[in-house]
Amino acid sequence: MTKQHVLKSIQNIGIVPSIRLSSPEDALFAGREILAAGIPIVEVTMTVPGAAAIIAQLAQDDSNLIVGAGTVLDTETARRCLDAGAKFITSPGLDVKLIEFAQANHTVVFPGALSPSEVITAVHAGADFVKIFPCAAVGGPRYIRDLRGPFPDVPFVASGGVKQENAGEYFLAGVAAIGVGAAVIPHEAVQLRQPHRIHELARRLLRAAAEARTRLARV
């Protein structure tokens, strides 16, 4: 799976589900059900126990699933994730060394940024996407619109507080993708092993993304 394929898939699907659960068994269940729901992308955060092993298992389960590593804070962790099979790396903050590491290893990377200065630094360092986190805390879609003014060509990923109710607004504001957690992987649905709930939430998000993009294309 090439870096270009990963980039295009994230751009086309527009949804990056994030697994932040308390057990490997729950994380594996969630990752498999996200794929079954029609989203071939999943991010396993480093806060999940045994995250690297989960990445490796999900990657082995189905070659069509693009598995990434989230909450990566240093290059040593990034290396373990790539060795496990991660195809993209995300971070909640801006670390230029992490961006340079990912680029040197032909891996998609989207660091976290919040201020215009951080966006500029991330772009100059070679970020493939710039994750605006925590987005809802600073204005949500309105903040994305404000950033789109000076940065019309930067592919933003909105993360932090993205919900079913506002997902479409983020796309209308101009993001390339959204990062979602409980909005598509509710803890209760995982604990009770209710795949139908995850599938339905995934379908709603996919529909919201498609409808918003259709509206934008008509403008």
Say what the pLDDT of residue 217 is: 86
The 10s digit of each residue's pLDDT in 67-80 is: 999 999 999 999 99
Q: Which amino acid is at 176?
A: A
Whether the pLDDT of residue 174 is over 80: the answer is yes
Angle at 179 between CA 173 and CA 182, to 5 degrees: 120
Predicted TM-score (pTM) of this structure:
0.95
Whether the pLDDT of residue 54 is over 90: the answer is yes
pLDDT (average), residues 148-161: 97
Pairing of strands 41-45, 112-113: unpaired
Inter-residue contact 14 to 41 (CB < 8 Å): no
pLDDT (average), residues 48-61: 97
Burial 53-73 (b: 16+ CB within 10 A, else e): ebbbbbbeeeeebbbbbbbbe
Tokens at residue 217, please?
A: 């294309």
Share of the chain above pLDDT 70, in %: 100
In the three-class reduction of DSSP (H, G, I as helix; E, B as strand; rest coil), residue 140 is classed as coil
Tokens at residue 80, please?
A: 């373990």
CATH topology of domain 3-218: TIM Barrel (3.20.20)
